[in-house]
Amino acid sequence: MEKKTAVYICTGCGIGDALDTEQLSKVATDKGSVPVCRVHANLCSQEGVELIKNDIANEGANTLVIAACSHRVMYDAFNFESCIVDRVNIREQVVWCQKPGDEDT
C-alpha cells in the first residue's frame, strides 16, 4: 500500500486565535509536499471527524497528522484503525507556551 499523508490542523480551543494556521497549512503543502491539508474549527466534533473519514475514503489518506490538542484527550475521536495516526500537540506545546502573534506562532 502506498503511503498518502494528510494533515489536519485544528483552530479550536484558542489555537486559531494564537497561531497562524493558514501559514502552517501552507508550509505543510508547499514545503512538506503533503497532498491533503485541511484546517478545521473543531476537529474533534462529529463534523471534523467526518472530514477526516471522508479523506480516508475518497482521497486514500492512510497516514494522518492531527495538529490539535494533547493526545491525552479526545483519544477515541481520532482512532482510525486502518491508518497510522500521529497527534501533534500544538495547543499545549506551542500555543500555551508562546505569545500569540509572535514570530514563532
**DSSP label of 78:** G
Alpha helix segments (H runs only) across the chain: 15-18, 21-30, 46-58, 90
Q: What is the dihedral of CA 101, 18, 55, 86, to 10 degrees?
A: 100
Query: What pLDDT is stored for residue 75 in this prediction?
Result: 79
Cβ-in-10-Å burial (0-12, 13-18, 19+) of 91 comes to buried
Q: In the predicted model, what is the mean pLDDT of residues 8-33?
A: 94
**pLDDT, tens digit, for every residue of 57-85?**
999 999 999 999 988 888 788 999 889 99
Give domain limits for the chain: 5-95
What does the alpha-carbon distance between residue 87 and residue 69 come to, in Å, rounded to a whole number?
8
Query: What pLDDT is stored for residue 77 in this prediction?
Result: 87
97 or 90: which carries more pLDDT confidence? 90
